[in-house]
Copies of this chain bind each other. A is one copy, B any other.
Amino acid sequence: MSRQLKNISGFPEWLPEVKAIEDSCVNTVQRIYESHGFVAIETPAVELLETLTAKGVGDKEIYTLRRLAAEEGDEAELGLHFDLTVPFARYVAAHFNDLVFPFRRYQLQKVWRGERPQKGRFREFYQFDVDIVAREDLPLSCDAEVVSLLGKCLCALNIGTPVLKLNNRKLLIGYYEGIGVQESVIFQVIGVIDKLAKIGVEEVRKQLLALGLSEKTSNDVLEFSGRIILAQDFESALSTLSLPSKLAEEGAKEVLDVLALVSESLLPNIEIQFQIARGLDYYTGTIVESEVREYPEFGSVGSGGRYDGLVSEYLSQRVPGVGVSLGITRIMDLIIKNKIFTPNKRSSAQVLIAVLNEEQRREANEHADDLRSAGINTEVYFKSPKLGKQIDYAAKKGIPHVIFIGESLEVKDITSGEQQSYSSPQELLKIIEQYTCRK
């Protein structure tokens, strides 16, 4: 009796009516991914630690696994994945000869990060990724497609105005190199700039100086990072930017090519932001983050980019990839805290069959199965108390109609109190439809 109930911080858990909202968001995204012909895959929750900690992947807080009954000295070999891109790259390499390229897949799974718990940080959360990989050569039209998908999904979720922040790793690295940042610290500079929104200009300046950048170079990096250019202005803005290297020019050209093929209706939602750097080392070209304009405090709700070297870590050929990842749990957090939708679905049932007495239960069960065969989700009340109590239960669960089996079959709409008889599941369907349309 009375084991303690402790909350585990960072591992969200919803009530059924909130889970129903999450399911509906997931369905919206899945429908869009499938409308573009992507198929689902899934990878195990775990990968070998050597896969998760490999060069190019960068530093993430990883949870390792050990058997509770492990013997002293048994080393942990497995870790929970911290994103879906690294497992996807490993999957593509592992099944290379069984896949048809370009391989276009979506993947919805939980990921885990063993961070010290802090306000608003999740240690377990859902990501919903979509990626395209090809042999040898992946055109920028694919970057445009996944960026468009990110925008399309955020629009369809109906949670506010999406802002897509676009950048390019070549542009970034080319620019940094061109203004004098040493190659050996480029990725560390990217890591510092990635934290700009979180830690602010002064702290970033301090960290850049600590990396050995001169005062002038630090200022140049910061000034460059502060620029935000609307998509429609980018081409003309380029002439005033004076890009300091071939690589930077190549990156800028890639951004232009992506913009030229992105869904036209999304262009007003796209900004080129040079402070978008992405913390992960595996990106090589296009990078994108997104937020909801009305709720900037929730940060990025979806992000991604181009990774040309990740799959090739395992294979002796080029397998470039590009993809984006929607932060479903982050989006749920935003929805819940801002009360964007009203949680109300506490049951899947459309009708509750009231049971007048236990002798009637078999008949009620049989009628329920008839209704289910006609596509009506049906619950039979589990006991046979007074009818008022059974109607109360339906109201509390949000089941809109209650059925009574007597001389005739009767259905009551519990909002209006109206009641009428029916003789077949089909007739009941029509009555339910009428009730529902009137609301």
Residues of A within 8 A of B (CB): 1-8, 11-16, 19-20, 23, 33-51, 53-54, 61-70, 76, 78-80, 90-91, 93-95, 98-100, 102, 104-105, 110, 112, 114, 124, 132, 134, 137-139, 141-142, 145, 260-261, 263-264, 312-316, 345-349, 352, 361-362, 365-366, 368-369, 372, 377-380, 382-383, 393, 396-397, 399
Q: Which residues of B contact A260 (CB under 8 A)?
A: 362
Copies of this chain, complex-wide, total 2
Q: Are B2 and A39 in contact (CB under 8 A)?
A: no
CA distance A361 to B257 in the complex (A): 12
Residues in B whose Cβ lies below 8 Å from that of A365:
261, 263
A312: nearest residue on chain B (CB-CB)?
B1
Q: Is the CB of B39 within 8 A of A347?
A: yes
Tell me whether A41 and B66 are in contact in the complex, defined as CB-CB below 8 angstroms, given that A54-B3, A362-B261 are known contacts.
no
B40 pairs with A3, CB closer than 8 A:
no
Q: If A8-B44, A132-B382, A377-B34 touch, does A39 touch B16 (CB 8 Å cutoff)? A: yes
A393 to chain B, nearest CB (A): 7
Which residue of B is nearest A372, CB measured? B35
Chain B's nearest CB lies how many Å from the CB of A403? 13
CA distance A13 to B261 in the complex (A): 35
A44–B5 contact, CB under 8 A?
no
A37 contacts which of B40, B90, B396, B399 (Cβ < 8 Å)?
B399
10 contacting pairs across A/B (C-beta < 8 A): A8-B44, A8-B47, A23-B40, A36-B368, A38-B348, A39-B345, A45-B110, A62-B68, A68-B114, A263-B365
* A347, B104: Cβ atoms closer than 8 Å: yes
Closest to A16 in B: B39
Indicate which residue in B3, B98, B142 contacts A313 across the interface (CB closer than 8 Å): B3
Which residue of the partner chain, among B51, B91, B137, contacts A3 with CB atoms under 8 Å? B51
Closest partner residue, chain B, to A105 (CB atom) = B16
Question: Within 8 Å CB of A1, what residues of B?
Answer: 312-313, 316
Q: How far is the CA of A382 from the CA of B143 in the complex (A)?
A: 11
Shortest CB–CB separation between residue A43 and chain B, in angstroms? 6
Additional A-B contacts beyond A61-B69, A141-B380 (18; CB < 8 A): A2-B313, A4-B50, A4-B314, A7-B94, A15-B95, A16-B105, A34-B348, A39-B346, A39-B347, A53-B68, A62-B68, A63-B68, A65-B65, A66-B66, A102-B382, A137-B383, A141-B361, A264-B366
